[in-house]
Amino acid sequence: MASLDSFKCRKKLTVGSKTYHYFSLKTAEKNGLKNISKLPYSMKVLLENLLRFEDGRSVTKEDIAACAKWLTNKGTKEKEIAFRPSRVLMQDFTGVPAVVDLAAMRDAVTKLGGDANSVNPLVPVDLVIDHSVIVDEFGNAKAFKKNVDLEYERNAERYQFLKWGQGAFDNFRVVPPGTGICHQVNLEYLAQTVWTRKEKFAPKRGKATTVEVAYPDSLVGTDSHTTMVNGLAVLGWGVGGIEAEACMLGQPLTMLLPEVIGFQLTGKLKEGVTATDLVLTVTQMLRKRGVVGKFVEFYGAGLDALTLADRATIANMAPEYGATCGFFPVDGETINFLKTSNRANARVALVEKYSKAQGLLPHQGFA
């Protein structure tokens, strides 16, 4: 269902030869959401999500206005919102049962005389098999391949089932064993920082057409360390299997508008000081401060001296310091990482232009 767009902020953004639709925070600010350019970057991601999914029921105009009022109450009003992440990330412990549930739903629909093909994830789902390979062979050049081969041999039925699932369900991909842990795969390959999808759009005048909508990448994952990807400016955190399945099927994630704790970084690491030293210090400071159930957002001149790997290390430790997530906004390092990790040139260009237009770049207002 298309957004009600109460703040008349659906706009077009041209990047190269492609034109995208997006929900402009700049326009929303002009049309009644005062001072939202001053919101923390993580809150801008939540606000854009509400603007895009306004339906008058799960997301109302009042919910959007309450998000804009965060500047005055700083998230202490305990306002409940419905957040719909862009995608879902699963590892094998929880992901395989979820696919079994989807298959069971198809069986039930068939028995009731319905179309089994109508049961599909409504958002992209990636299942990364990263907890399964056992180390039987070691100490030689063929050990890795041998261990992966043994995994396929021992669990042949599981992989036949998952291969069927990848072909049968829309919006569902499987990353095979031996590829890497789900957070590494997410950071280096799956995450896009700005996501896109095609949808039908019917303007007030003219015929309905298929358009491509751009919006911030976000996710929930069935592992507490899903937070690692916040180092790439992708808002995400860990949830339980039932919550993840609900998101798969298009249900919103109910949450309170969070308090956001700013963490200022200055200077740079001295020679010999590692990212581990840094993250343990940050964890100690945030535990002392008390950030359970809150967003932490990192800012300051010190960001310029942190590599993406260092940021991901800090973001990965959010469960240890108790926060829902530790968010790093888009900047030059984000763009450099997307390039060096071989994201498509068109995607990198979109991330740059979209982030600028939405005021998601540090020290910069709306374009």
Residue 345: pLDDT band with limits 50, 70, 90: very high
Q: How many domains does the chain have?
A: 1
| 261 belongs to a structural domain | no
Q: pTM value?
A: 0.95
| 300 belongs to a structural domain | no
Which residues span the domain enclosing 61? 10-86
- Whether pLDDT at 340 is above 60: yes
Residue 1: pLDDT band with limits 50, 70, 90: low
Contact criterion met (CB below 8 Å) for 217 and 195: yes
Q: How many CB atoms lie within 10 A of CB 127?
A: 25
Rg of the chain's alpha carbons, rounded to an integer?
21
- Whether pLDDT at 7 is above 60: yes
pLDDT tens sequence across 14-73? 999 999 999 999 999 999 999 999 999 999 999 999 999 999 999 999 999 999 999 999
DSSP letter for 257, please.
P
| Burial (0-12, 13-18, 19+ Cβ within 10 Å), 268 | exposed
Average pLDDT over residues 269-285: 94
Q: Pick the closest to residue 85 from 50, 109, 55, 113 (CA basis).
A: 50
Residue 292 confidence (pLDDT)? 96
| 247 belongs to a structural domain | no
Tell me which H or E stretch contains 320: helix 318-321
Distance CA 323, CA 315 (A): 10
| 31 belongs to a structural domain | yes
| 45 belongs to a structural domain | yes
Q: Which amino acid is at 129?
A: I
- Whether pLDDT at 363 is above 80: no
| 51 belongs to a structural domain | yes
| 239 belongs to a structural domain | no
| 34 belongs to a structural domain | yes
